[in-house]
Structure 1
């Protein structure tokens, strides 16, 4: 499925597709949320979980690399 096709689905359809086709990549924390990054074949999608209520609040699909920058800060490579 393409990013545009996914974006045009209803929220419940997005959630079903997301659950069936996601590949976990990374996790980060921000402002009361745990944010999981997944790859869905042709685009990325963030899953925003509220830390206090432990429930899904947002699925945020994207194709740009700028949205990946917060995850690159989590990568630490030893000096060569």
Structure 2
């Protein structure tokens, strides 16, 4: 039987409307790190049992993309900046 954490996984997240995805990240997510690329701030959140990257436009200050990081290779740009001890 699945517990509530698994019920709120990436599949559930992708099934939500965009504004509900944003609300879930802001209400239940833990900001892990932010980094900058040309034109965007990328915020990494831990949400339930997965990681979400939120792209914020530097010019308009709005969220343009929310995506689940589906494999550990996608965490590479953040690895040198985060401590997993903070998540426990």
TM bucket (normalised to shorter chain) is 0.7 to 0.9
Q: Secondary structure at the match of 2:54?
A: strand
**Cα pair distance change 1:12/1:29, threshold 3 Å:** same
Structure 1: 5+ residue stretches without partners: 76-80
- After TM superposition, the structure 1 = structure 2 runs for residues 29-48 of structure 1, keeping only pairs within 5 Å, are 29-48=36-55
Given candidates 2, 9, 19, the residue that maps to 1:12 is: 19
Count residues in correspondence: 75
In structure 2, stretches of 5+ residues that fail to align are 1-7, 83-88
Structure-2-length-normalised TM-score: 0.77
Query: What whole-Å deviation, never above 9, does each CA across 1:31-78 have from its counterpart, x for those lacking one?
Result: 210111000011000111111111111111123101100112446xxx
- The structure carrying a bigger helix percent of its residues is 2
Q: State TM-score, norm by structure 1.
A: 0.83
**RMSD, aligned CA:** 1.4
